[in-house]
């Protein structure tokens, strides 16, 4: 369930995130594992996006990079 959610969530338009999450809850009603996080990779992605590329660091951008 976590892989399905974490893999597809960054690809979904923000308007459809609530619908996708409700669908996941309907398919897997008793499970809600936390997102698997790699702090070092997320920090490196933020640093590169902000300092080297001059981009605005957004949560969605970091999710797509990770």
Question: Domain range spanning residue 23?
Answer: 1-34
45 and 64: one domain? yes
Q: Are residues 43 and 16 in the same domain?
A: no
Q: What is the pLDDT along the chain (66 residues), one digit of tens a residue?
A: 778 888 888 888 889 989 998 998 898 888 877 777 889 998 999 999 999 888 888 887 888 787
Number of domains comprising the chain: 2
> Would you call 40 exposed, middle or buried from its count of C-beta atoms within 10 A (0-12, 13-18, 19+)?
exposed
DSSP letters along 30-60, please? T--PPPP--HHHHHHHHHIIIIIS-----HH
Asked whether residue 30 falls in the same domain as residue 42, the answer is no
Q: How many whole angstroms separate alpha carbon 21 and alpha carbon 2?
A: 11
């Amino acid at each position: 369930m976590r892989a399905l959610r974490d893999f597809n969530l960054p690809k979904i338009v923000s308007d459809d995130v609530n619908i996708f999450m409700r669908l996941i809850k309907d398919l897997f009603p008793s499970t809600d594992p936390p997102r698997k996080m790699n702090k070092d990779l997320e920090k490196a992605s933020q640093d590169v996006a902000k300092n080297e590329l001059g981009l605005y660091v957004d949560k969605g951008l970091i999710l797509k990079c990770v």
